[in-house]
């Protein structure tokens, strides 16, 4: 007799935060997500074994590792390090199944670039937040190489692409700042005969360039007087395996930094933070708002500038943040909004159109969550205006929309609010910072479990 097995629905995991003690001690920042993705992928193009310490062990990075395994790359890990046994440039194998990137937008975009020179079908899919993210700008950038999209759903996932029989070197001028599109093109360029050139009128983070150079790629980077950057890559140069150490993620550190600024009496050291100038937009803004943040124990780790941050509770003031400045910290806008809620006066953040196209509509999710906690907020089409008076009542329930940054940001808000703040589901936090609640609890954060309701 046939028996139908019905899977039990996965219940949401709600959590509330409230009444934190002064945050003290040392907060260890997890590995940088952007560098972790790139380290795995570039190591796959080297010949031999690369060892990586400090790599972020989170769902998004695991999705990239799983995709590389489907391409024939051996990737394993233990408590000490990850090891990638690279196959060399143009050495990847045709995948036998769809490459499922979960909800990792970074992994998807980088892998589309990685496979651009390969004349086989590569099928991509992902989770619910990834399938609705547009890919047209990236696909258009890859088209001159000879990449053909054979199947797509409204310009996104699921998607099947095929590379050309003879990939062509390219000259590409970035139409808009995007370190992910630039990085995808660089991963293609190192696997194409000849010299390819990318011009960035506005510079973005340079992790991919630094890692490629460290692995021995023939890459040069020059910047002119106007600030425009030209990157040239000569492809098919053998890459050598390396031993890498991944520094701490400044976006993950940002949650502890903002929490320490807004929880009275806090004096917290946030350890091992990447302070690459292209990644310090949030810290720079918090300093301008009056945040007491000191850079201590500055050092170099894996070719990157790293520091510990000593953060003490501060009286913050509102600020006007233009589109260019906001563009340097788009991932950090939700947690910056929590700081603005506790600041004195009006904070205006412009240039946020891209927030509507991320894991969820982060602009709307941030505005709705703040309003639910009695913060005066106005959501513009591409802007956010927050008016604070130094305190937040809280007491609201926030819908995370399966977005890890929304979930963590509002848990930070609740640590200093008068009444507790409840986030409907924290399951998404595992995408980038699975140890977030434990790490915050260890330095004085207080969280309360909430019974999930069946829908």
Over the stretch 190-208, which tens digit does the pLDDT of each residue have? 999 999 999 999 888 999 9
**Beta partners for residue 17, in sequence order:** 421, 447
Residue for token digits 């690279």? 86
**In angstroms, rounded to a whole number, what is the distance separating the alpha carbons of residues 134 and 155?**
6
Q: Does position 325 have pLDDT exceeding 80, yes or no?
A: yes
Over the stretch 177-192, which tens digit does the pLDDT of each residue have? 899 999 999 999 999 9
Residue for token digits 């008016």? 387
36, 59 Cβ separation under 8 angstroms: no
State the Cα angle at 215 between 213 and 216, rounded to 5°: 65
Over the stretch 103-139, which tens digit does the pLDDT of each residue have? 999 999 999 999 999 999 999 999 988 888 889 999 9
**In angstroms, rounded to a whole number, what is the distance separating the alpha carbons of residues 229 and 278?**
14
- Tell me if residue 206 is catalytic: no
Q: pLDDT-derived band of residue 11, with 50, 70 and 90 as boundaries?
A: low
Helix (H) or strand (E) holding 128: helix 128-131
Q: Is 177 exposed, middle or buried (0-12, 13-18, 19+ CB in 10 A)?
A: middle
Architecture of domain 15-31+248-449: Alpha-beta prism (3.65)
Q: Is 420 annotated as a binding residue?
A: no
Q: Rounded to the nearest 10 degrees, how much is the dihedral formed by the CA atoms of 426, 427, 431, 433? A: 50
The mean pLDDT of 372-389, rounded to a whole number, is 97
Mean pLDDT of the chain: 94
18, 446 Cβ separation under 8 angstroms: yes
CATH match for 33-245 among 3.40.50.2000, 2.60.40.2470, 3.65.10.10, 3.30.413.10: 3.65.10.10
**In angstroms, rounded to a whole number, what is the distance separating the alpha carbons of residues 103 and 100?**
9
Q: pLDDT-derived band of residue 4, with 50, 70 and 90 as boundaries?
A: very low
Q: DSSP 3-state assignment of 397? A: strand
Q: Is 3 annotated as a binding residue?
A: no
**In angstroms, rounded to a whole number, what is the distance separating the alpha carbons of residues 115 and 337?**
37
The mean pLDDT of 15-34, rounded to a whole number, is 95
Q: Is 33 annotated as a binding residue?
A: yes
Contacts of 80 (CB under 8 A, 6+ apart): 53
DSSP, res 420: -
What is residue 8's predicted lDDT score, i.e. its pLDDT? 45
Q: Does position 420 have pLDDT exceeding 80, yes or no?
A: yes
Q: Is 362 annotated as a binding residue?
A: yes
Percent of the chain with pLDDT over 90: 87
What is residue 1's predicted lDDT score, i.e. its pLDDT? 39
pTM check: above 0.85: yes
| Token pair recorded at residue 56 | 């972020």
Stated length of the chain: 455
What is residue 10's predicted lDDT score, i.e. its pLDDT? 53
Q: Which of 249, 308, 331, 403 is catalytic?
A: 331
Q: Is 62 annotated as a binding residue?
A: no
DSSP, res 431: G
Asked if 15-31+248-449 and 33-245 have one fold, the answer is: yes
Q: Is 133 annotated as a binding residue?
A: yes
Q: Is 299 annotated as a binding residue?
A: no
Q: Enumerate the domain spans of the chain.
A: 15-31+248-449, 33-245
What is residue 3's predicted lDDT score, i.e. its pLDDT? 41
Over the stretch 241-271, which tens digit does the pLDDT of each residue have? 999 999 999 999 999 999 999 999 999 999 9
**In angstroms, rounded to a whole number, what is the distance separating the alpha carbons of residues 292 and 315?**
9
180, 109 Cβ separation under 8 angstroms: yes
DSSP per-residue string spanning 143-210: GGGT-EEEEEETTEEEEEEE--SS----EEE-SS--HHHHHHHHHHHTTSSSEEEEEESS----HHHH
Q: Closest by alpha carbon to 274, among 325, 326, 309, 229?
A: 309
DSSP, res 299: E
Beta-carbon count within 10 A of 344 CB: 16
Q: Is 358 annotated as a binding residue?
A: yes
What is residue 302's predicted lDDT score, i.e. its pLDDT? 77
What is residue 6's predicted lDDT score, i.e. its pLDDT? 39
């Amino acid at each position: 007799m046939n028996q139908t097995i019905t899977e039990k629905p996965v219940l949401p995991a709600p959590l509330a935060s409230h009444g934190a003690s002064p945050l003290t001690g040392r907060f260890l920042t997890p590995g940088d997500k952007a560098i972790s993705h790139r380290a795995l992928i570039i190591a796959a193009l080297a010949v031999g074994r690369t060892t990586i310490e400090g790599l972020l062990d989170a769902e998004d990075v695991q999705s990239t590792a799983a995709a590389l395994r489907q391409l024939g790359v051996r990737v394993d890990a233990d408590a000490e390090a990850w090891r990638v046994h690279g196959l060399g440039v143009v050495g990847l194998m045709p995948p036998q199944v769809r490459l499922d990137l979960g909800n990792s937008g970074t992994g998807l975009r980088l892998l589309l670039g990685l496979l651009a020179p390969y004349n086989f079908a590569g099928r991509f899919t992902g989770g619910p937040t990834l399938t609705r993210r547009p890919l047209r700008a990236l696909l258009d950038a890859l088209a001159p190489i000879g990449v053909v999209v054979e199947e797509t759903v409204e310009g996104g996932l699921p998607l099947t692409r095929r590379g050309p029989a003879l990939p062509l070197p390219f000259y590409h001028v970035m139409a808009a700042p995007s370190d992910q599109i630039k990085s995808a093109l660089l991963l293609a360029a190192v696997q194409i005969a000849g010299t390819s050139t990318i011009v960035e009128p506005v510079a973005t983070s340079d992790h991919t360039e630094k890692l490629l150079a460290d692995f021995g790629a023939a890459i040069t980077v020059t910047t002119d007087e106007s600030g425009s950057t030209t990157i040239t890559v000569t492809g098919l140069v053998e890459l050598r395996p390396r031993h890498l150490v991944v520094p701490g993620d400044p976006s993950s550190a940002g949650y502890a930094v903002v929490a320490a600024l807004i929880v009275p009496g806090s004096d917290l050291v946030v350890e091992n933070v990447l302070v690459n100038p292209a990644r310090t937009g949030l810290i720079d803004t918090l300093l301008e708002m009056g945040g007491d943040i000191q850079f201590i124990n500055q050092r170099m780790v894996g070719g990157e500038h790293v520091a510990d941050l000593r953060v003490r509770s501060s009286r913050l003031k509102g600020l006007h943040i233009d589109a260019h400045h906001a563009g340097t910290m788009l991932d950090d806008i939700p947690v910056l909004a929590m700081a603005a809620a506790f600041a004195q006066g009006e904070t205006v953040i412009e240039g946020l159109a891209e927030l509507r196209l991320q894991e969820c509509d982060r602009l709307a999710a941030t505005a709705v969550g703040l309003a639910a906690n009695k913060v005066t907020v106005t959501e513009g089409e591409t802007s956010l205006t927050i008016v604070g008076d130094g305190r937040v009542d809280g007491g609201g329930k926030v819908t995370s929309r399966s977005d890890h940054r929304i979930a963590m940001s509002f848990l930070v808000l609740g640590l200093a609010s008068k009444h507790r703040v409840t986030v409907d589901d924290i399951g998404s936090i595992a995408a980038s910072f699975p140890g977030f609640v434990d790490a915050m609890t260890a330095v004085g954060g207080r969280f309360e479990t909430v019974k999930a309701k069946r829908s």
